Amino acid sequence: MIMFNWLAPLSSISAPESLPATSKKTRQQPFLRKLLHAPPPVLLDLLCGLSDDLATFYKLGLVPRRIGQQAEKLADWCWFAGTLVDLVEVGVELSVIGSAITESGRSPF
C-alpha cells in the first residue's frame, strides 16, 4: 500500500509552466485553473490516491464510517476506470506501432 500517492499528480498539476524565453512576465495561474485544465488521467490518479488514503484512514479509525465507506467505493471505481484508461492507451500504442510497421513495409513476424 502506498500512502500519499496523490502527491505526484498534485505536483505535476501545480508545477509552474515553462514560458517562452522572450516572455519576461511570469504570471502564475490560479491553482483551480490549473486543476481544471489538467489531463484526465492525471485527475484520475489524483482522485484515486485521495480516495485510497481516505479509505485507509477509515480502516485505521481516523475517518468517520460514512466518509470511509464512500471513499472505498470511489477508490474501487477509480481503480476500474484507471485500468480501462490504461487498456485504451495500450491499444493506441499498439495501433501506432502497427501502422509504423506497415508503412515501413516490413512484416512484424
Chain centroid offset of residue 14 CA:
13
Tens of pLDDT along the chain (109 residues) come to 677 888 888 888 888 766 555 555 556 778 888 888 888 889 999 999 999 999 999 999 999 999 999 999 999 999 999 999 999 999 999 999 999 888 887 655 5
Q: 48 lies in a domain?
A: yes
Residue 59 in grid coordinates: 480502516
Q: 1 lies in a domain?
A: no
Between the alpha carbon of residue 106 and those of residues 96, 98, 101, 109, the distances in Å are: 15, 10, 6, 9
**Each residue of 15-37: pLDDT tens digit?**
876 655 555 555 677 888 888 88
User: In 3D, which of 87, 92, 90, 85 has the Cα closest to residue 45?
Assistant: 85
Q: 70 lies in a domain?
A: yes
pLDDT value, residue 75: 93
Domain that holds residue 65: 30-104
- Name the domain count of the chain: 1
Query: What pTM was estimated for this model as a whole?
Result: 0.71
Q: 11 lies in a domain?
A: no
